[in-house]
């Protein structure tokens, strides 16, 4: 008796499937992905373990932020019982406060001078220490040492170095014949901010150096060798190979440097107290004075939110540039 082969031949099993079925012919309904609450119920043990951290974060960060925003609409003085609602008066006062405007200008002056100097000097030191010189490990340690030194200690040491009567800086400048009489570095209105900037650059070079050094060591050596074959000199390789390859590193340092410089406080508090004649009063130091010298917490909180907005704008612009550099 003849056998019908058409009815006995089995369909080959597709990869990962059952014999006689195919993904295109499957009639099983698609499952709806579980919702957020369902996933949370399934992972309740994980949420139980992280709940202490979430509670602490909620109290000391989220609640504190919301309460600070609430203070901006009140005349909140620490030594007065009456804390009336004033609406937008704190913001209007800020727009008319010339001292705050001067502190913004001082902060931008400090940022615009210290960040480029720190990055440039750190870059060239990283270039030197990336070469095969003897004792480069020791030099790397010495340049990085100010970073791990407490900033308060650094500010106190530099305050003594700048001392007008027996500071080391005046002593060596007099011995070299560069100046004829001691300079009052921190008491002169034209020298105080440059002196603070010089100290900040010295203390921040090590961080820029380490980051740039890591970026230099990540550049493929084949790019330099190909440039040499094409006849490029040292400066041409630096300009056309090294610097373009370090663009993400440079933007990272720029973001971190500007954020840190906009919040400069320690060296101002230790070395100048905002003087002379408010030439070194920065935004954070002005906020500190409003809060803990005049006890105007409502006004100080308003200024703090403005500082946050300025920092956020600068950070957003730089991150946008960083994404473009990666593309």
Q: What is the pLDDT of residue 8?
A: 44
CA 246 to chain centre: 18
DSSP letter for 239, please.
I
* pTM listed for this prediction: 0.82
Would you write out the chain's pLDDT as a tens digit for each of its 327 residues? 444 444 444 444 444 444 444 444 455 556 777 777 777 777 788 888 888 998 998 889 999 999 999 999 999 998 888 999 999 999 999 999 999 999 999 999 999 999 999 999 999 999 999 887 788 888 888 999 999 999 999 999 999 999 998 999 999 999 999 999 999 999 999 999 999 999 999 999 999 999 999 999 998 888 888 988 888 888 888 898 999 999 889 988 998 999 999 999 999 999 999 999 999 999 999 999 999 999 999 999 999 999 999 999 988 888 887 777 666
Specify the CATH number of the domain 90-326.
Answer: 1.10.3720.10
Give the DSSP per-residue string, 128-179.
Answer: HHTS--TTHHHHHHHHHHHHHS-HHHHHHHHHHHT-TTT-HHHHHHHHTTS-
Q: What angle, 0 to 180 degrees and rounded to 10, lies between the N-to-C axes of helices 98-129 and 247-262? A: 150
Q: Which of 270, 141, 258, 128 is nearest to 199 (CA)?
A: 270
Cα 263 from Cα 311, distance rounded (Å): 9
Q: What is the pLDDT of residue 22?
A: 47
DSSP letter for 53, please.
H
Cα 245 from Cα 221, distance rounded (Å): 12
């Amino acid at each position: 008796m003849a056998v019908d082969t058409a009815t006995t031949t089995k369909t080959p099993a597709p990869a990962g499937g059952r014999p006689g079925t195919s993904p295109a012919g499957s009639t099983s309904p698609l499952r709806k992905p579980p919702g957020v609450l369902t996933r949370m119920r399934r992972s309740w043990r994980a949420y139980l373990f992280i709940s202490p951290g979430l509670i602490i974060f909620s109290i000391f960060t989220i609640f504190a932020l919301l309460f600070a925003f609430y203070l901006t609409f009140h005349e909140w003085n620490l030594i007065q019982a009456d804390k009336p609602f004033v609406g937008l008066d704190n913001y209007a006062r800020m727009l008319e406060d010339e001292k705050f405007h001067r502190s913004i200008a001082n902060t931008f002056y400090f940022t615009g001078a210290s960040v480029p100097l720190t990055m440039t000097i750190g870059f060239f030191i990283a270039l030197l220490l990336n070469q095969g010189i003897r004792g480069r490990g020791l030099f790397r340690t010495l340049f990085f040492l100010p970073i791990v030194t407490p900033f308060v200690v650094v500010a106190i040491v530099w305050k003594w170095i700048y001392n007008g009567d027996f500071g080391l800086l005046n002593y060596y400048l007099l011995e070299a014949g560069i100046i004829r009489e001691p300079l009052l570095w921190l008491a002169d209105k034209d020298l105080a901010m440059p002196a603070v900037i010089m100290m900040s650059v010295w203390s921040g070079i090590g961080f820029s150096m380490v980051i740039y050094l890591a970026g230099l060591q990540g550049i493929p050596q084949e790019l330099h060798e190909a440039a040499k074959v094409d006849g490029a000199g040292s400066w041409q390789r630096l300009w056309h190979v090294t610097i373009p390859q370090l663009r993400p590193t440079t933007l990272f340092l720029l973001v971190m440097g500007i954020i840190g410089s906009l919040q400069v406080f320690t060296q101002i508090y230790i070395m100048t107290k905002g003087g002379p004649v408010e030439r070194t009063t920065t935004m954070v130091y002005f906020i500190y004075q409003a809060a803990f010298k005049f006890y105007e917490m409502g006004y100080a909180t308003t200024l703090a939110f403005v500082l946050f907005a300025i920092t956020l704008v600068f950070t957003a612009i730089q991150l946008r540039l960083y994404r473009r550099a990666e593309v």
